[in-house]
Amino acid sequence: MSTATLTPDAPTGSAPAKALHDEGRIGLRGNLRHIGALVRRNLLQIKQDPESMFDALLMPVIFTLLFVYVFGGSVGGSLGGGRQEYINYLIPGLMAMMGMNIASAVGTGVNDDFRKGVMDRFRTMPIARSSVLIAKIVVELGRMMVATVILLAMGFALGLEIKTSVLGLLEAVALSAVFGAAIMWIFILLGLSLKTSQSVQAMGFLVLMPLQFGSSIFAPPATMPGWLQAFTDYNPLSNLADAARGLMLGGPVAHSVWLTLGWAAVITAVTAPLAVAKFRKKT
C-alpha cells in the first residue's frame, strides 16, 4: 500500500530528527489534516483487501442467529417471555460485544504495519505520533458502525422492539462507540508490545472471552453462581449492556451510563499515553 500522500520532503537522514523537533509545533489544523490523510490510507487498504471487512459484515449475523435460536427459548423463558423477549434482551448486549471484537482487529493491524516497516516510515515524517494511532481508531470505529447497523437490521428483522425512542437508540449506539474507542487503545498497546500478530490475537482472545461471557450480554446475572455475579457487577461490558438496554427498552440508565463513561475515561487516560509512548520508542 502506497503512502505517498504523506511522503516527507526532508532527506532520509535528517527526517527523524526533524519529525521529533516539529511534532511539538504541529497545531490542531495540522493534526486533523494528518489524521485525515492517514484515515484515507487505511480506507484504501480496506478497498484493496475487502476480505478485511468480513468480520464486521458477518459477525453480527452469525452471533444473532446463533444465540437467538440456540438459547432464545430457554433464556427467554427465564426472562418471563420467549424468544421474542430474548431478542430484546440480546441485541443491546451484542452492541457492547461488537465494539470489543472489532477493537481487537486494530491491535493486529498496528502490529502488521510495524513488521512491514510502514510505521517506521511514518515516524520519519513531521507528524504527531498520536495521529497515526488516532487514524486507526477512526477507521475501526467506522467498521464498528457498519457492524452495528447490520446487527440492528438483523434485530429488527427478527422482531426487535425499541420501547423508548429513536434518540434512545442513537444514544445507545454512541455510548457503545465511546467505549469501543477506549478499548481500542488497549489493543493498540498490545499490538505495539507483542512481537507477532498471532500473539496479539491470542492475548486478545484471553481478554475478550472472560469479559464477554462473564457479563450480562447473553444471560441475566441472576441465573449465575454468586462468585460470577460478583464479577459481572464490576465487568464494564455488563454496565454497557445494561445501559444500552435501558436506553432502548426503558428503565433506569443513569448509573450504568456513568459507570460506562467512567470506565472509558479511565481506560483511555491510562492506555492512550502508554500506547503513544510505546509507538515513539518501538524499534
The domain of 94 spans 24-281
Q: Tell whether 163 is covered by a domain.
A: yes
In a domain, 6, yes or no: no
12 part of a folded domain: no
For 155-204, write each residue's pLDDT tens digit.
999 989 999 999 999 999 999 999 999 999 999 999 888 888 888 888 88
Are 112 and 1 a contacting pair, CB within 8 Å? no
pLDDT the model gives residue 205: 84
| Between residues 103 and 126, the one the model is more confident about | 103
pLDDT in tens, 48-92: 888 878 888 888 999 899 989 888 888 877 777 788 889 999 999
Between CA 56 and CA 48 the distance in angstroms is 16
Given 3-state DSSP classes, what are the helix, strand and coil percentages for the chain, each rounded to the nearest 5?
80, 0, 20
Domain assignment present for residue 81? The answer is: yes
* Set of cell numbers at residue 146: 457498519
Q: What is the 3-state secondary structure (H, E, C) of 86-136?
A: HHHHHHHHHHHHHHHHHHHHHHHHHHHHHHCCHHHHHHCCCCCHHHHHHHH
Judge whether 77 lies within some domain. yes
Q: Would residue 11 count as lying in a domain?
A: no
User: Which pLDDT score, from 0 to 100, does residue 148 have?
Assistant: 93
The tally of domains found in the chain comes to 1
CB 97 within 8 Å of CB 237: yes
- At 283 the pLDDT is 58
Secondary structure (3-state) at 27: coil
Whether 131 maps to a domain, the answer reads yes
Share the mean pLDDT of the chain.
83
Q: Which three cell numbers stand for residue 140?
A: 475501526
Q: Say if pTM beats, i.e. exceeds, 0.85.
A: no
Q: Which among 158, 92, 100, 120 has a CA at the least distance from the CA of 16?
A: 120
What distance in Å separates the CA atoms of residue 107 and residue 10, rounded to the nearest whole number? 30
What was the pLDDT predicted at 15?
40
Residue 9 lies in a domain: no
Q: Supply the pLDDT for residue 4.
A: 40
Mean pLDDT across 243-265: 92
